[in-house]
Amino acid sequence: MSRSTPLLHLAVALDGAGWHPAAWREPGARPNDLFTAGYWADLAAEAERGLLDFVTIEDSLGQQSSSFTGPDGRTDQVRGRLDAVLTAARIAPLTTHLGLIPAAVVTHTEPFHLSKSVATLDHVSGGRAGVQVRVSGRADEAAHFGRREVPRLPVAALDSPAGRALLEELFGEAADYVEVVRRLWDSWEDDAEIRDVATGRFIDRAKLHYIDFAGRHFSVKGPSITPRPPQGQPLVAALAHRAEPFRLVATSADIGFVTPHDTAQATAIVEEIRTGQDRAGRGGQTVHILADLVVLLDDEPGRAAERRARLDASLDAPYAGDALVFAGTPAELADLLQEFARTGLTGFRLRPATLPYDLERITGGLVPELQRRGAFRQAYQAGTLRGLLGLPRPANRYTAA
Amino acid sequence: MSSTPKQIHLAAHFPGVNNTTVWSDPAAGSQIDFSSFVHLARTAERAKFDFLFLAEGLRLREQRGKIHDLDVVGRPDTFTVLAALAAVTDRLGLAGTINSTFNEPYEVARQFATLDHLSAGRAAWNVVTSWDEFTGENFRRGGYLAREDRYERADQFLTAVKVLLDSWRGDEIAADKESGTFLRDPDAGRFAHRVGQFDIAGSFNVPRSPQGRPVIFQAGDSEQGREFAASAADAIFTRHGTLEAGKAFYADVKGRLARYGRSPEELLILPGVTFVLGDTPADAEERAYEVRRQQVSGPTAITFVERIWNRDLSDRDPDGPLPAEDPLIDADPIVRGRADVRGADRLATAAHWRSVAEEKKLSLRELVIEVTGRQTFVGTPQQVARALDDFVQADASDGFILAPHLTPGGLDEFADTVVPLLQERGVFRTEYEGETLRDHLGLPALARPAGGSREEAVS
């Protein structure tokens, strides 16, 4: 590779004992620790040792399930999870450079609360926060709130008229939600706090702003109760598999997670999001597009595939999720990532099939391999997540020019 | 009398967004930097306090239709900052106010269960209920409550959260790698609850936390508030800082417990109090007066009088007299976003203030300092330690929630001087004896619930 080898952005998606349903039974797995702070702190420390850009932490407002329409009653897989924003906050003081992007559901929750909780995560982490917004289209999750009816649709029905209408509604609401969250982050100007003893004023109230958002699903007055966070606006991310969420990424996000299974798909997805960005007038803004891959890594050729076969053997059918599953050596994965990167992807979010094993192979195997190739940082050189991702601190929309 | 004196419980209140928090002092630090929260939490833990307490308000206060700019403004999200503090403390309880009007039980139950897991059993919840439309403008649940319905809402909300938390018994996770059994019980987390405003059912997704549920606080003084506390709370956050009022309140509330099958130790009474320390009694008095002057600037004095008179008095001179005209009783309140003096009480308060001002020849600002500013405990460390001890031994409270007037160092001196004296008196712990906040507070462990069920609770 030449001097123009682009630096890749590399993140890890944390979920339970790993992304393979049988991960919790592996010899190094810690299924009894999943609900302790120490487990998450150890994973974050490992990710930080590997100089990764950030970790994401999965979340949902319902039980994990192999079925899209409700709980599956299974007892042979990990069930139960902690609130992701709070888990991120718990590990923030224990890390210094790693970005923290918890998932949060935007369908049943309050944008006012999420705005201040992510702003607070940014305050307690010194500017390393983001949030991965998720919609919930599940009827069983709606019943946990008892406030709206959601049709009980299987995944296959998403392209029916009813399915499309539901997606339009959910992702339209998500876009409004992100707009409110961002306005609230801007609702305090950076220099609103004046502590002017002469006049007795703590703040200059001309620098606090009502956001006056009125939409179909909510109206929010503002301003936030929480001062503008260190990054100005923490980062907004979203996972996207199809047109509606691609549009959400294009119009509203700083980071999109996508799931191409080959380079042709990757090219098409990048094109669709970039076009959407231009159409939304965000052509000049940096929006990272990271491909998600489930990874099993071993140094010895063939070992990872064997491990995959062993893990799959305890399931009814081999594990296949939304994202491509890779089993191989760190060097083979580095080859694949560099090939994918030529499609315009700016990085990758790796989903370790098992924890902590595959995370340790990422930090201890893949990262050094990419560093040898000049494709990954040798040290952290920025104090904020925006800094790591090459994103500027945004100007405040309410600050008079 | 037993040989062991009654033990005092102590908590630290992070300085709030009102005029008692002095920001004009050179020693005043940030109200939002995480380092301020770390400083106060570590001071409280070093002093072996029971817990740290954070208040919450979900809309910035307004006066005369504008955002109130004279007091500290800006707070973090309660849950998020408490979760972060769990990383920098080991034993200190982590208590926060969370509103039951602008949240949903499923979410709040998840957040408290998570905080309790992540702190290994140190979470506490001060349940409050807003009734105002003003705060509702920030929420999709914009609907607000009639003032008299707020305890019913709080009660139903708390019950719903308890149903969710009790949907896991605590022994469901087998995590047996050999047999492949992660959950012993496929119904773990199942719930159905249809009561009053709530109609929810499904599967709760956080396993039972170390304390089972957060320690429950109730703040408020009304008849309904006292009854709610007696039936459902583990501790009351009161305002009764004087000995006589404290004893009456204590006897009243503790006397209500038997009706709910509870014993007096199952509900702690903890007044929120302030303090000023000095090297001599005179020094303490002098410092206390200086703090009160910092707390009540000229513009702040005007806003206090406006709240009673319910008029725009921004053109008045704080060094001049109280207004000659009477308060407006029927107009909309001039203040929004805080508990407020209402209706006819305004006339009585105004009459009282006038008589005090006349008798002592006080200007408007001096009058406000006189009637609002007095700290609860003022004296040398020895005097304050004795007064705190006497207060508790007289059954006026079970301890105190101390609100320093400075962020973040306002508790340092108390921790260094008063706490050792309380320990010498044998009325305050020298080391934490238990792991959880329930342990610190001497609350009995909760019985194991029945766990997940498909049966509905209906009433």
Q: Where are the domains of chain B?
A: 9-277+377-458, 297-372
Contact assignment for B83 to A225 by CB distance below 8 Å = no
DSSP 8-state symbol, B147? G
Is B144 labeled as ligand-binding? no
CB A49 within 8 A of CB A129: no
Contact assignment for B182 to A113 by CB distance below 8 Å = no
Q: Nearest 5 degrees, angle CA B220-CA B311-CA B272? A: 20
- Sort A213 into a burial class: Cβ within 10 Å, 0-12 / 13-18 / 19+: middle
Note whether B202 contacts A: Cβ–Cβ < 8 A.
yes
Contact assignment for B80 to A227 by CB distance below 8 Å = no
**A31 to chain B nearest CA, in Å?**
6
For B300, the closest chain A residue by CA position comes to A200
Of B80, B200, B299, nearest to A200 by CB-CB distance is B299
Alpha helices in B119-192 (DSSP H): 133-136, 150-165
CATH classification at residue A99: 3.20.20.30
Residues 6+ apart with CB under 8 A from B413: B277
| Domain of A288, in residue numbers | 9-153+231-389
Of B34, B70, B104, nearest to A124 by CB-CB distance is B34
pLDDT at B459 over 60: no
ipTM exceeds 0.95, yes or no:
yes
> Residue A84's closest CA among A185, A174, A163, A14?
A14
Contact assignment for B205 to A93 by CB distance below 8 Å = no
Is residue A173 included in any domain, yes or no?
A: no
How far out from the chain centre does Cα A209 lie?
Answer: 29
Q: What is the mean pLDDT of residues A326-339?
A: 98
> Tell me, what amino acid is at B202?
G
Query: What is the percent of chain A where pLDDT is above 90?
Result: 92
Residues 6+ apart with CB under 8 A from B415: B43, B44, B46, B47
Answer with the residue of higher pLDDT: B141 or B380.
Answer: B380
Contact assignment for B202 to A81 by CB distance below 8 Å = no
- Residue B191 structure tokens: 């719930």
- Residue A275 structure tokens: 């076009």
> Tell me, what amino acid is at B67?
I
- At residue A1 the predicted structure's pLDDT band, cuts being 50, 70 and 90, is very low
For B295, the closest chain A residue by CA position comes to A200
Q: What is the mean pLDDT of residues A145-172?
A: 90
- Residue A18 structure tokens: 């790993």
β-pair type (B235-238, B335-336): unpaired
Cα separations in angstroms, A273 against A264, A280, B342: 15, 10, 56
Within A252-375, strands assigned E span: 255-258, 288-297, 324-328, 347-352
> Tell me, what amino acid is at A6?
P
Cα separation of B201 and B80, whole Å? Answer: 27
Cα separation of A178 and A109, whole Å? Answer: 12
Coil vs helix vs strand at B10: strand
**A229 to chain B nearest CA, in Å?**
10
Of A73, A78, A113, nearest to B186 by CB-CB distance is A73
DSSP 8-state symbol, A25? G
Residues 160-219 of A with CB under 8 A from B: 188, 193, 195, 197, 199-205, 208, 217-219
- Residue B84 structure tokens: 């972060």
pLDDT at A127 over 80: yes
Within A216-315, strands assigned E span: 219-220, 235-240, 255-258, 288-297
Residues 219-278 of A with CB under 8 A from B: 219-223, 225-227
Q: What per-residue confidence (pLDDT) applies to A113?
A: 98
Coil vs helix vs strand at B324: coil
pLDDT at A4 over 90: no
Contact assignment for A71 to B79 by CB distance below 8 Å = no
Q: What per-residue confidence (pLDDT) applies to B458?
A: 47
- Sort A183 into a burial class: Cβ within 10 Å, 0-12 / 13-18 / 19+: buried
**In CATH, which of 3.40.50.720, 3.50.50.60, 3.90.1150.10, 3.20.20.30 is domain B9-277+377-458?**
3.20.20.30
Note whether B111 contacts A: Cβ–Cβ < 8 A.
yes
**Plot region of A214 (φ>0 → left; ψ -120 to 50 → alpha; else → beta):** beta
Q: b/e string for A58-77 if b means 16 or more Cβ within 10 A?
A: bbbbbbbbeebbbbeebbbb
> Residue B291's closest CA among B127, B175, B406?
B406
Contact assignment for A32 to B86 by CB distance below 8 Å = no
Cα separations in angstroms, A158 against A153, A154, A261: 7, 7, 21
Q: What is the mean pLDDT of residues B349-369?
A: 94
List pLDDT tens digits, range B64-107: 889 999 999 999 999 999 999 999 999 999 999 999 989 999 99
CB B349 within 8 A of CB B329: no
Of A80, A120, A205, nearest to B69 by CB-CB distance is A205
Query: What is the percent of chain A where pLDDT is above 70?
Result: 99
Optimal mutation site among B205, B208, B319, interface A, most CBs of chain A within 10 A = B205
Binding annotation of A for FMN = 59
A67-76, A368-377, B257-266: lowest mean pLDDT where? A67-76
Q: What per-residue confidence (pLDDT) applies to A2?
A: 43
pLDDT at B123 over 50: yes
Helix, strand, coil share (%) of chain B residues, nearest 5: 35, 15, 45
Residues 6+ apart with CB under 8 A from A169: none
List pLDDT tens digits, range A282-327: 999 999 999 999 999 999 999 999 999 999 999 999 999 999 999 9
Pairs of residues, one from chain A and one from chain B, whose beta carbons lie less than 8 Å apart: 234
pLDDT at B454 over 60: no
Contact assignment for A219 to B114 by CB distance below 8 Å = no
CB A28 within 8 A of CB A73: no
Q: Nearest 5 degrees, angle CA B358-CA B363-CA B368? A: 95
Cα separation of B408 and B52, whole Å? Answer: 13
Residues in chain A: 401
β-pair type (B93-99, B215-219): unpaired
Q: What per-residue confidence (pLDDT) applies to B424?
A: 98
Q: What is the mean pLDDT of residues B298-323?
A: 93
Cα separation of A28 and A22, whole Å? Answer: 12
Cα separation of A256 and A292, whole Å? Answer: 10
- Sort B143 into a burial class: Cβ within 10 Å, 0-12 / 13-18 / 19+: exposed
Within A150-234, strands assigned E span: 193-196, 201-203, 213-214, 219-220
Which residues in chain B touch residue A76, judged by CB atoms under 8 angstroms apart? Answer: 180-182
DSSP 8-state symbol, B415? I
β-pair type (B198-203, B215-219): unpaired
Cα separation of A296 and A303, whole Å? Answer: 9
pLDDT at B442 over 80: yes
Optimal mutation site among B66, B75, B77, interface A, most CBs of chain A within 10 A = B77
Reduce the secondary structure of B262-283 to three states and give it as a string: CCHHHCEEEEEECEEECCCHHH
CB A225 within 8 A of CB B55: no
Q: What per-residue confidence (pLDDT) applies to B149?
A: 77
pLDDT at B144 over 70: no
Cα separation of A357 and A336, whole Å? Answer: 20
- At residue B455 the predicted structure's pLDDT band, cuts being 50, 70 and 90, is low
Q: What is the mean pLDDT of residues B287-309?
A: 93
Contact assignment for B140 to A218 by CB distance below 8 Å = yes
Q: What is the mean pLDDT of residues A220-231?
A: 98
Coil vs helix vs strand at B232: helix
Q: What per-residue confidence (pLDDT) applies to B340?
A: 60
- At residue A197 the predicted structure's pLDDT band, cuts being 50, 70 and 90, is very high
Considering its fold, how many domains does chain A have in total?
1
- Residue A285 structure tokens: 């803004």
How far out from the chain centre does Cα A46 lie?
Answer: 18
| Phi, psi (degrees; rounded to nearest 5) at A326 | -115, 130
For A63, the closest chain B residue by CA position comes to B205
List pLDDT tens digits, range B190-238: 999 998 889 999 999 999 999 999 999 998 788 888 999 999 999 999 9
**A192 to chain B nearest CA, in Å?**
10
CB B378 within 8 A of CB B288: yes
- Sort B178 into a burial class: Cβ within 10 Å, 0-12 / 13-18 / 19+: exposed
CA-CA-CA-CA torsion sign (B410, A116, A83, B212): positive
Note whether B58 contacts A: Cβ–Cβ < 8 A.
yes
List pLDDT tens digits, range A339-391: 999 999 999 999 999 999 999 999 999 999 999 999 999 999 999 999 999 99
For B140, the closest chain A residue by CA position comes to A218
Is residue A94 included in any domain, yes or no?
A: yes
Q: What per-residue confidence (pLDDT) applies to B24?
A: 93
Q: Which helix (H) or strand (E) holds A86?
A: helix A84-91
- At residue B150 the predicted structure's pLDDT band, cuts being 50, 70 and 90, is confident
Q: What is the mean pLDDT of residues A207-229?
A: 97
Cα separation of A202 and B29, whole Å? Answer: 13
